Amino acid sequence: MSPNYILVVICILLSSCSFYETNAQLSANFYSTTCPNVSSIVQNVIQQALQSDAHIGASLIRLHFHDCFVNGCDASLLLDNNSTTNIVSEKDAAPNTNSTRGFDVVDNIKTALESSCPGVVSCADILALAAESSVSLAGGPSWNVLLGRRDSRTANQAGANTSIPSPTEGLTNITAKFTAVGLNLTDLVALSGAHTFGRAQCRVFSARLYNFNGTGNPDPSLNTTYLANLRQICPQNGSTTALANLDPTTSDGFDNNYFANLQNNQGLLQSDQELFSSATTLSIVNTFSSNQNTFFQSFVQSMINMGNISPLTGTNGEIHLDCKRIN
């Protein structure tokens, strides 16, 4: 009788198990014999990409985030439209279209890995490893990524449209989306701390600058000096795709300044600043702002928790030979 069968029986009897726990099958040593240099290969490709694009790290961690929130961490986000295999791409969902980027870097990582260890490393694991490398290369923490995910043979564009938290949503809705995938409030605040690097397009936050919630006025929670700076980047009838740094203080470094920005009413996105206006998350923001090590420890644990969302393991799914299409 398999251990998994026993676990299922116990869970039915006790009605108490979360099936986010089944991810004990993931292991930091999963490729230790089949592709021992996997982490360094991923990191080398990202280091090369950073030389021509200082912001690519933030884009790569976002791919992992947007992948995991839709049917779990299964690389379904990477699949292109394909009428033959009935793939309707998640790339064209509202949270991703004209927004997610870094797919070319993922392809370069896959090419390098296929050269070294053909048919071994999944695209889902590439996203998890790329997220860790991106954080550590920007001065953030490093951690042992749990591995062993397999890749999905389907995509879920409708799920991408409804499951990924939006920067214009209120904290209640965002919390519900985190809860739906087994993540808690500490995870929400810690993972939001990834906005310590990267940029956002004006269209995502311009309503806060000119017409917040239809009032015809700016968001009253915005620091007035910060508001003036943002209006220069995003004039009222200017480009909707102009970019502002998510962290105006250390825009390309991974640190805890994001949380100090929130304390100063300098959160770029509505979803950022709301973390400091709610009693449920305010204390976590204050803790992370006052102690970078505490933030880093929580961030690592929350990244592991997110990476554990419903992975395909064992004989489920497949190892894509090309991350853009099923085999």
CA 249 to CA 257: how far, in whole Å?
7
CA 284 to CA 275: how far, in whole Å?
9
Q: Could you tell me if 104 and 78 are in contact, meaning their C-beta atoms sit under 8 angstroms apart?
A: no
Give the three-class secondary structure for 27: strand
CA 44 to CA 129: how far, in whole Å?
12
Tell me, yes or no, if 195 is annotated catalytic: no
Which of 64, 66, 195, 320 is the catalytic position?
66
Closest CA to 94 of 176, 153, 195, 165: 165
Q: Could you tell me if 42 and 145 are in contact, meaning their C-beta atoms sit under 8 angstroms apart?
A: no
CA 71 to CA 286: how far, in whole Å?
32
CA 300 to CA 96: how far, in whole Å?
24
The encoded tokens of residue 207 equal 């309503």
Closest CA to 295 of 287, 305, 303: 287
The encoded tokens of residue 317 equal 């799914």
CA 247 to CA 193: how far, in whole Å?
10
Active site amino acids: 66
